[in-house]
Chains A and B, each alone.
Chain A
Amino acid sequence: MTTLTTQPLPFGAEEATFIRRSLLHSLRDGESMVMAIMLPVITMLMFTFVFGGAIDSSGDYVNYVVPGIVLLCAGFGASSTAVSVAQDMQNGIVDRFRTMPIRASAVLTGHVVASLVRNLLATALVIGVGIAVGFRPQGSLLGWLGALALVALYILAITYLFAAIGLAAGSAEAAASYGFILLFLPYVSSAFVPIQTMPDWMHWIASNQPLTPIIETIRGLLMGTELGNEPLWALGWCVAILAVSIVFGAVMFQRKAGRR
């Protein structure tokens, strides 16, 4: 029999194990993988070839729309974290982790990091497809790095938000249904059409919802155009969503997976 020498876990060991687990889960979930690839590609093709001509006949629409599609895909992809978390809660594996001498909450870190990796890859794919259909960004290297950092921060915020929603949801099915918000929220922003083209009453909503400054910042950074104070709003929204979600998640974890 193997000698069972157990060592106290070094700092971060639980996280490392759970990150590996969640990445394996991502790799093996065929349907989600297909969805993660097809959604950006189809959305991109729809907007550039089907709607693009009607929206802007100059053919320059692709340069306008890519940042919006990046955000739509990253946000929707991150929302699947709710399903992973709800599944873990539902099938009892979190309870098993809680009877072990480890920090069970590290299982959430695994899902968050996997989501970050998954959605950054999806973002690269969107940009790649965008370039293939004519996206010609003019931004500087610094602009690119800034845009990527903001996308990563946005993914992180949405992931944490949906991890908390996954904890709060009664089932994986219920958790899955919340993701639709991020599929539609981008339409009422400057993602696909300029806000000025919307009816007056919608202006206020579209201008003041979190996605608009984030999209405007990414667009400005990638295209090298004027940014104004949009980056401040973008950062503020991301940090605010992240902070609220972390607190919400901690409360939900305590309630659902604390000692009852």
Chain B
Amino acid sequence: MQTPAIAVSGLRKTFGTHPVLNDVTFEVAPGEIFALLGPNGAGKTTLINILSTLVAPDAGTATVNGFDVGRDPLAVRRSIGLTGQSAAVDEVLTGSENLRMMGRLFGLSRSASAARADELLERFDLVQAARKRAKTYSGGMRRRLDLAISLIVAPSVLFLDEPTTGLDPRSRQELWNVIRSLKEDGRTVFLTTQYLEEADQLADTVAVLNEGHVVASGTPAALKATVGGDVVEVRDRAGNLLLQLPTDGSIHGLRAAIAEVDASGVDGDVTVREPSLDDVFLALTDAGAGHAAPELIGRTAR
């Protein structure tokens, strides 16, 4: 059997009295894009920190390319690249200097570092900015430089912690293309995201993390099937949610949902929208409890 690129089993981590990860188990196959989907505070960054040897778990095991993150951190570090949430580039140095410095630290010769830096600047469309200090870069450029740095020695497993958070739509598209090209290179990509659409666009496998648990995993198609199709919402003039009805996406389901709106006697603006991450959680957890009109939210019209 092929060694999984990442294998996590029974992972637990508590900060103070707050359990951040509570018995997390999953596997990532080599060469796939794996998206860990979850809201803020779900434990996504903690999980990446454990896998990249920054944080020790309280219990459970985690391996990268078969190397245990606790027993053999050096072997793990040789296999991975990490692009963090707060892009960690050296702002005082130029893009080119950043790349050459990292190349040297990875043990490339001076000339190989320079050649590799030029190559990556080219690939990530940073040639124009190569001699400018990273401090002057836009969010998207900085993220691309960050990603380029983590690719210096072509690691087989890449961790991307919310790679597109805070980027404008165009930069997000560009970064998505880059991530797809990483898969074409044969690398395993482990990314975290808050956006269902991102997971849907990129991932072969998605796992949903909520309050330290993996509450669902599978292909994006399978995940969306759990959520259903479009969502019918009724809001009052102030924008408060009065009623929310997930549908299975069919015309029949939509009609049934609208009939239910009628029957409920609720009056307001009706909109139909695509399912969001919130809907995934509504469908997968009891997170909907406590919201407005709980008795109406979370029922699927069929």
A-B CB contacts (within 8 Å), total count: 84
**How many angstroms from the CA of A84 to the CA of B132 in the assembled complex?**
21
Chain A residues 1 to 25 lying within 8 A of chain B, measured CB to CB, are 1-9, 13-14, 17, 20-21, 24-25
Contact A96 B119 (CB under 8 A): no
Which residue of the partner chain A has the closest CB to B82? Answer: A99
Which of B83-91, B175-183, B225-233 lies at the binding interface?
B83-91
Q: Say whether B101 faces chain A, with CB atoms less than 8 Å apart.
A: yes
- Contact A28–B115 (Cβ < 8 Å): no
A6 / chain B contacts, CB cutoff of 8 Å: 106-108, 153
- CB-CB under 8 A from B119, the residues of chain A are 1-2
Q: In the complex, are the beta carbons of B108 and A21 less than 8 A apart? A: no
B78 touches A95 (CB 8 A): no
- Using CB atoms, name the residue of chain B closest to A107: B105
Chain B residue contacts of A24, Cβ below 8 A: 92-93, 97
Which positions 47-66 of chain B face chain A at CB distance < 8 Å? Answer: 52-56
Beyond A93-B89, A96-B88, whether A260 also contacts B107 by CB under 8 A is no
Interface flag for A131 (CB, 8 Å) = no
Whether A102 contacts B56 by the Cβ 8 Å rule is: no
Q: Is the CB of B104 within 8 A of A99?
A: no
Q: Is the CB of A21 within 8 A of B101?
A: yes
A92 within 8 A of B: yes
* B116 within 8 A of partner (CB): yes
Determine if A2 and B115 form an interchain contact, defined as CB atoms under 8 angstroms apart. Answer: yes
Tell whether A5 pairs with B84 under 8 Å between CB atoms, given A24-B92, A28-B92, A101-B74.
Answer: no
Check A140 for interface membership: any CB of B closer than 8 A.
no
A102–B106 Cα gap in the complex (Å)?
A: 8
Instruction: Provide the residues of chain A in CB contact with B149, threshold 8 Å.
Output: 96
Which of the residues A1, A5, A93, A102 comes within 8 Å of B90, measured between beta carbons? A93
Q: Does B272 contact A (CB under 8 A)?
A: no
- Chain B: interface residue total (CB-CB under 8 A): 37
Contact for A21 among B77, B90, B115, CB less than 8 A? B90
In chain B, positions 105-137 with a C-beta closer than 8 Å to chain A are: 105-109, 112, 115-116, 119, 133
Q: Which residues of A, 233-260, contact B by the 8 Å Cβ criterion?
A: 259-260
| CB of A203 within 8 Å of the partner chain | no
List B contacts of A91 (CB < 8 A).
86, 88, 91
A97 within 8 A of B: yes
Task: Using A91-B86, A93-B88, A96-B82 as known contacts, say yes or no to A4 and B54 having CB atoms under 8 A apart.
Answer: no
- Interchain CA distance A7-B105 in the complex, whole Å: 10
Instruction: Say yes or no: is A100 at the interface (Cβ < 8 Å to chain B).
Output: yes
- A9 neighbours in B (Cβ, 8 Å): 105, 107
**B112–A2 touching, CB < 8 Å:** yes
B154 at the interface (CB under 8 A from A): yes
Q: Does A200 have its Cβ within 8 Å of any Cβ on chain B?
A: no
Contact: A25 with B78, CB < 8 Å? no
Interface size on A, residues (CB 8 A): 31
Q: Which of B228-275 contact A (CB under 8 A)?
A: none
Contact with A along B147-166 (1 / 0, CB 8 A): 00100011000000000000
Question: In this assembly, does B214 line the interface, its C-beta being within 8 Å of a C-beta of chain A?
Answer: no
Distance between Cα atoms of A20 and B80 in the complex (Å): 25
- CB closest chain-A residue, reference B70: A259
Please, which residues of chain B bring their CB within 8 A of the CB of A92?
84, 86-88
- Nearest B residue to A84 via CB reads B92
The answer to whether B92 touches A2 (Cβ under 8 A) is no
Bound Cα distance from A28 to B90, whole angstroms: 13
Are B90 and A99 touching (Cβ within 8 A)?
no
CA of A70 to CA of B13, assembled, Å? 51
Beta-carbon contacts under 8 Å, A88-141 to B = 91-93, 95-102
**Docked-complex contact A99 and B80, CB < 8 angstroms:** yes
Does A29 sit at the interface, judged by CB under 8 A? yes
Q: CB within 8 Å of B: which of A57-105?
A: 91-93, 95-102
CA A130 to CA B175, docked complex, whole Å:
57
Q: What is the chain B residue whose CB lies nearest that of A8? A: B107
CB distance from A210 to the nearest CB of B (A): 33
Q: Is B55 a contact partner of A4 (Cβ separation < 8 A)? A: no
Cβ B53 vs Cβ A5 within 8 A:
no
- Residues of B near A5 (CB, < 8 A) are 108-109, 112
When C-beta atoms are compared, the residue in chain B nearest to A17 turns out to be B104
Contact of A17 among B86, B88, B105, B153 (CB under 8 A): B105
Q: Tell me whether A99 and B101 are in contact (CB under 8 A).
A: no
Chain B min CB distance to A240 (Å): 34
Contact A259 B54 (CB under 8 A): yes
Residues in B whose Cβ lies below 8 Å from that of A3: 112
- Establish whether residues A99 and B54, one from each chain, have CB atoms under 8 Å apart when the complex forms: yes
B55 A260 Cβ-Cβ under 8 A: yes
Q: In the bound complex, what is the Cα–Cα distance between A226 and B130 (angstroms)?
A: 58
Chain A nearest CB, measured from B85 CB (Å) = 8
**11 interchain pairs, CB-CB under 8 A:** A1-B119, A2-B112, A6-B106, A17-B104, A92-B84, A93-B89, A96-B82, A96-B149, A99-B54, A100-B105, A259-B73
In order of increasing CB-CB distance, the 3 nearest A-B pairs are A92-B88, A6-B107, A96-B88
Known: A21-B93, A102-B105. 7 other contacts (CB 8 A): A2-B115, A4-B116, A6-B106, A24-B97, A95-B54, A96-B88, A259-B54
